[in-house]
Chain A
Amino acid sequence: MSRVKEFNLPDLGEGLTEGEILSWLVKVGDTIELNQPIVEVETAKAAVEIPAKWAGRVQSIFHAEGATVEVGTPIIAIDTDPTAGPLETPEPTGGAAKGSSAAGEVAKGAAESGQNDDAESGKRTPVLVGYGPRTTAAKRRPRKGVAPAAPAQPTAVPTQPAPVPAPPAPAPVASGPSTAGNGHSGPAGGTRALAKPPVRKLAKDLGVDLTALTGSGPLGSISREDVRQAASGAPATAEPLATALVSGPAANVGVHREQRIPVKGVRKLTAENMSRSAFTAPHVTEFLTVDMTRAMKALDRLRQRREWREVRVSPLLLVAKAVLLAVRRHPMVNSTWAGEEIVVKDYVNLGIAAATERGLIVPNVKDAGRLTLRELADSLTDLVQTAKAGKTSPADMSGGTLTITNVGVFGVDTGTPILPPGESAILAFGAVRKMPWVHKGKVRPRQVTTLGLSFDHRIIDGELGSRFLRDIGDFLADPEAALLAWT
């Protein structure tokens, strides 16, 4: 039993096949205790910390943060007896051969880790209780009496299963179905290379000829990594990932000046929503420039009131109030196009688009129309802080009916926002700037902003949209008068 043990990514949920390495909590050379958290992994079900299975010293880490790793793949090697002096044998290569390594090598790694002394072809890795991919290429154990595809193995090496028949296999080509049928041989002439459709697509995109590659995946199939390596001009032999990690996150650093960022998480969701909305709802955008000087003064007076001293008061609060009051006068803008009918809501779940580290998210204030100005202020502050802390719950993000996007915080004047799916109006609030403005017949420096309102033209005609925008503008130009007049 080797003193260096490799830990394979277990199935952390029930029936999961992969996980993403979020962050490593230890680094190579660290001394670790049993059950010390070593890595945070996110699966389709949960983000969890994995505790160390053995005490010792971290020998190698096989996958960088951000990597998606198949269940059963080694992720870390731990020297379980670091005080016993330097290692005599070179460290095992099972993990270093990457997730797409020849399956036999992974099985070897498992055997060396000492948990599976009787590792043999066709068994699942024992770390996976009941689940997870098999460690070898064989899908099924061969039945007795069926002619084996490969020549009989000498029985002397039971713990080292032959991964995949070597390309120059001694099997005669004339044996018919055994080569063409099972497709084990990668580059055999005339045989279609084994690769999954996304890998074929990648090869096409990168201009790689699949038939010229030797696959390193199960059954000699060509993996994504094989294609990338071929595209980057590197030899197609398996290069230990551990060394690749030292030099940089990708194997092709310096060859390409483009970065490929996997589309996932918030980015993926945003993209889906934006495309769906932009190509289903016919958008119209109108603009209105407003003198907000009075409103800004009103805000200052509000801040000076004792009961408002602790409250965060921003121009966004007034815009939110303006929108809510205007919705009350034009309920139709707060609606959803539902194909056969239009759903008009008598509650406003007011969405606020927020830029966070994770990307754009749009949490909403539930039933904002019923809140007092003070409650609204508190809700907005809460919502923004929760979003910035990355703690917005899915419930807070669903059910929005109308949205404000505060592009002014980025110092721009306005925009033509795209509707969140299911909503019919979205207001862009630009920066409030001191501008020359005609005020009481003279040009004065005034605090001016530009509002941009996009709306779904299937529901909202130009007239309704214009009245709605005009009302918002009226409120922002003179909030006190609007409040007196409308409420």
Chain B
Amino acid sequence: MAKGDPGVSTRGRRAVPRSRKGATGDPELVQLLTPEGERIESVTGPDGTEYRVDFTDEEYRGFYRDLVLVRKLDAEATALQRQGELGLWASLLGQEAAQVGSGRALRTQDMAFPTYREHGVLYCRGIDPIMPLGLFRGVDQGGWDPNEFKFNMYTIVIGAQTLHATGYAMGVTMDGKTGTDEGEAVIAYFGDGATSQGDVNEAFVWASVFNAPMVFFCQNNQYAISEPLERQTRIPLYRRAAGFGFPGIRVDGNDVLASYAVTRHALDNARHGQGPSLIEAYTYRMGAHTTSDDPTRYRIASEVEAWQAKDPIARMKAFLVKQKIADDGFFAEVDEQAKRESVHLRERVLEMPNPEPSSMFDHVYPNGSPLVDQQRAQFTQYLESFEGSAH
């Protein structure tokens, strides 16, 4: 997909916003592609912003390809965990559209701060999908260069990355890198559960008061492990932003086009110095929280089935078929590519070398430290005290 500027027009026209019933109350929800695959021309948000996208056929097909690949690679990682090859895996199943849509909306200069589930955003940033598998296999700490790809390390601590991102965004302002089309914006990903964390609320305060070029992207997948949304909030999450003094909006997180449009608009606002915003991508975690979790213990099958009908990939496929943008040949080719890449991923995971125990000293400081060198020497000596030791 071209990284140009597929027009997200933002004319300030007031109209009755489309609304959709959600779990809490009856909030507005930006949607450009219905679960049945019908395109909605444009949607006007509560603040009068008009959201619309206008992609070429090639770009539409590109979105579909991303969604399918991301899901397939994720499924392969889950299987690898079940087969004992990964210690743990946090599946993104069901959240592909929120991640691909927002990930594709980022411009090259924008910086992203993920949780541990943003495999789809990572993919959109051009990072080799093998990278997080090394982390979850326990053979490295993540391994990609956050500065090169403008994608920070996975953060396991819930919500902590929102503060890191806000600090980074404040730095962007201090460097004078906002206010133009080439300005930088920062996006922080987090979940519905994280909104109850102090860190996230502090980040809201700092970002608001310092007018930081921030986009808070909350994937509301309805569960904080086993805790349902009604234990996190009495109001729709996106409305919390109002209390902190910046705009909030809810988007259909299973609609890749709407997720793109809303994120692109929020990022552009940020890069132009218009301050932070909160996006609540309303979605559903179709799988377990992680491979250590059993969702059947806390949610009922009919709820999962209802969300199955809103599947992000199925609606994109229906759209492509109805509009005759893609044919069976294309879908078969994408499936083939997904299968090929997942097999390749598996092969590479199985070949990952086990790290030398002393490698944990390698990246403590950028230029080393005498104290760490001393500890490394002591540790090596200890390892050598064992019989049959090659160290």
- Chain A interface residues (CB < 8 Å from chain B): 7-8, 10-14, 35, 45-51, 53, 115, 120, 127-131, 141-144, 391, 393-394
With A10-B84, A11-B84, A51-B79: A144-B387 Cβ-Cβ less than 8 Å: yes
| Contact B87 A14, beta carbon cutoff 8 Å | yes
Q: Within the complex, which residue of B81, B82, B300, B387 is in contact with A143, where a contact is CB–CB below 8 Å?
A: B387
Judge whether B288 is part of the interface by a CB distance below 8 angstroms. yes
Chain B hits for A131, CB < 8 A: 87
Contact assessment for A50 and B82 in the assembled complex, using a CB-CB cutoff below 8 Å: yes
B207 beta carbon closer than 8 Å to chain A? no
> Least Cβ distance of B362 to chain A in Å?
19
Chain A residues within an 8 Å CB radius of B85: 10, 127, 129
Residues B291 and A12 in contact, CB atoms below 8 Å apart: yes
- For B299, give the chain A residue with the smallest CB separation: A393
Please determine whether B386 and A46 come into contact, CB atoms closer than 8 angstroms: no
A120 to chain B: which residues have CB within 8 Å? 388
- B374-391 vs A, Cβ < 8 Å mask (1 yes, 0 no): 000000000001111100
Taking CB atoms, residues of chain B closer than 8 Å to A51 are 79, 82-83
Mostly helix, strand, loop or mixed at chain B's interface?
Answer: loop
**A436 → chain B, closest Cβ, in Å?**
48
Known: A51-B79, A141-B388. A129 touches B84 (CB 8 A): yes
Q: Could you tell me the distance between the alpha carbons of A394 and B84 in the complex, rounded to whole angstroms?
A: 29
Q: List 11 A-B contacts (CB under 8 A).
A: A11-B87, A12-B81, A12-B292, A13-B292, A46-B288, A46-B293, A130-B87, A130-B138, A142-B386, A393-B298, A394-B297
Decide: A35 and B79 in contact? CB cutoff 8 A: yes
In the complex, what distance in Å separates the CA atom of A46 from the CA atom of B88? 13
Residue among B137, B298, B301 making CB contact with A129, cutoff 8 Å: B137
Kindly list chain B residues whose C-beta atoms are within 8 Å of the C-beta of A7: 83
Q: Is B185 an interface residue (CB 8 A)?
A: no
Whether A127 lies near B385 (C-beta < 8 A) is no
Which residues of chain B have C-beta atoms less than 8 A from A11's C-beta?
A: 84, 87
Please give me the residue from chain B that is nearest to A132 by CB atom: B84
Write the nearest CB–CB distance from B331 to chain A, whole angstroms.
21
Tier of interface size on chain B? 20 to 34
Q: How far, in angstroms, from A120 to B390 measured CA to CA in the complex?
A: 13
Within 8 A of A (CB), among B39-82: 76, 79, 81-82
- A47 near B294: Cβ-Cβ < 8 Å: yes
Q: Knowing A14-B292, A46-B293, A129-B138 are in contact, say whether A144-B386 is a contact too (CB < 8 A).
A: yes
The 6 closest A-B CB pairs, nearest first, are: A10-B84, A46-B294, A127-B84, A13-B292, A53-B83, A129-B87
> Would B82 and A12 count as touching, CB distance under 8 A?
yes
In the bound assembly, the distance between CA atoms of A49 and B79 in angstroms comes to: 9
Contact B387 A142, beta carbon cutoff 8 Å: yes
Q: Does B30 contact A (CB under 8 A)?
A: no
Q: Mark B338-365, 1 if CB is under 8 A from A, else 0.
A: 0000000000001000000000000000
B172 at interface by CB-CB < 8 Å: no
Which residue of chain A has its CB nearest to the CB of B83?
A53
Question: Taking the complex as formed, is B92 at the interface, i.e. its CB lies under 8 A from any CB of chain A?
Answer: no
With a cutoff of 8 Å between Cβ atoms, the chain A residues found around residue B300 in the complex are: 391, 393
B residues 288-317 with Cβ under 8 Å of A?
288, 291-294, 296-298, 300-301
How far, in angstroms, from A47 to B294 measured CA to CA in the complex?
7
Of all chain B residues, the one with the shortest Cβ separation from A146 is B387
Interface centre among A35, A115, A391 (most CB of B within 10 A): A35
Other A-B contacts than A12-B82, A143-B385, 9 sampled, CB-CB below 8 A, are A7-B83, A8-B84, A14-B88, A35-B76, A48-B291, A50-B82, A51-B83, A129-B85, A394-B297
User: In chain A, what residue has the closest Cβ to B386?
Assistant: A141
CB distance from A7 to the nearest CB of B (A): 7
Give Cα A13 to B85, complex, Å: 12
Q: Which residues of B contact A (CB under 8 A)?
A: 76, 79, 81-88, 137-138, 288, 291-294, 296-298, 300-301, 350, 385-389
Smallest CB gap from A16: residue in B: B292
Q: State whether A48 touches B385 (Cβ < 8 A).
A: no
Chain B residue contacts of A10, Cβ below 8 A: 82-85
A13-B387 Cα distance, complex, nearest whole Å: 33
Contact A393 B297, beta carbon cutoff 8 Å: yes
Bound: A8/B83 CA distance, A: 9
C-alpha gap A305/B85 in the complex (Å): 62
Q: How far is the CB of B135 from chain A (nearest CB, A)?
A: 11
The distance from the CB of B137 to the nearest CB of chain A, in whole angstroms, is 5
Given A130-B138, A142-B387, A144-B387, answer yes or no on A50-B294 (Cβ-Cβ < 8 Å): no
For B82, the chain A residues whose CB sits under 8 A away are 10, 12, 48-51
Chain A residues with CB under 8 A of B87: 11, 14, 129-131
Which residue on chain B has the smallest CB distance to residue A158? B388
Q: Is the CB of B88 within 8 A of A48?
A: no
**A213–chain B nearest beta-carbon distance, Å:** 32
A115 to B386, CA, bound (A): 24
Residue of chain B at shortest CB distance from A125: B84
Among A48, A129, A131, chain B packs the most CB atoms within 10 A around the CB of A129
A391 CB contacts on chain B under 8 angstroms = 300-301
Residues on the A chain within 8 Å of B292, using CB: 12-14, 45-46
A133-B296 Cα distance, complex, nearest whole Å:
29
Closest to A41 in B: B82
Once bound together, how far apart are the Cα atoms of A47 and B388, in whole Å? Answer: 41
Give the CA-CA distance A129 to B349 in the complex, in Å: 12
CA distance A35 to B137 in the complex (A): 18
Q: Is A127 in contact with B83, judged by CB distance below 8 angstroms?
A: yes
Residues in A whose Cβ lies below 8 Å from that of B388: 120, 141
Instruction: Provide the bound-state CA to CA distance between A411 and B196, in Å.
Output: 53
CB distance from A168 to the nearest CB of B (A): 26
How many Å lie between the Cα of A10 and that of B300 in the bound state? 28
Say how far B229's CB is from chain A's closest CB, in angstroms. 16
- Asked if B88 and A128 sit within 8 Å, CB to CB, the answer is no
Which residues of chain B are near A49, meaning CB under 8 Å?
82
Most buried by A among B79, B81, B84, B86: B84
A259 to B84, CA, bound (A): 35
Contacts A46-B292, A129-B138, A391-B301 hold; do A143 and B386 have CB atoms under 8 A apart?
yes
Question: A35 — which chain B residues lie within 8 A by C-beta?
Answer: 76, 79
Nearest CB in chain B: distance from A14 CB, A: 5
The minimal Cβ–Cβ distance linking B348 to chain A, given in whole angstroms, is: 15
Q: How far is the CB of B297 from chain A (nearest CB, A)?
A: 7
Closest CB of chain B to A130's CB: distance in Å? 5
Cα separation A50 to B297 with both chains bound (whole Å): 19
Complex: A454 Cα to B327 Cα, angstroms: 70
Complex Cα spacing A142 to B385, Å: 9
Closest to B292 in A: A13
Closest to A140 in B: B386
How distant is the Cα of A379 from the Cα of B137 in the complex, in angstroms?
Answer: 47
Name, among B86, B288, B297, B350, the residue most crowded by chain A CB atoms within 10 Å (CB to CB): B297
Residue of B87, B293, B297, B385 with most chain A CB atoms under a 10 A cut-off? B87
Nearest CB of chain B from residue A397's CB, rounded to whole Å: 12
Residue of A nearest to B294 (CB): A46
A13 to B86, CA, bound (A): 10
A15 to chain B, nearest CB (A): 9
Q: Which of A10, A12, A49, A143 has the most CB of B within 10 A?
A: A10
A120 to B87, CA, bound (A): 22
**Do the beta carbons of B386 and A48 come within 8 Å of each other?**
no
Option from A45, A128, A141 in Cβ contact (under 8 Å) with B294: A45
Q: How far apart are A27's CB and chain B's nearest CB, in angstroms?
A: 20
Assembly CA distance A10 to B350 (angstroms): 15
Inside 8 A of A48's CB, which chain B residues have their CB?
82, 291, 294
Residues of B with C-beta under 8 A to A115? 350
Q: Which A-chain residue is minimally distant from B139 (CB atoms)? A: A129
Closest beta carbon of chain B to A193's beta carbon, Å: 30
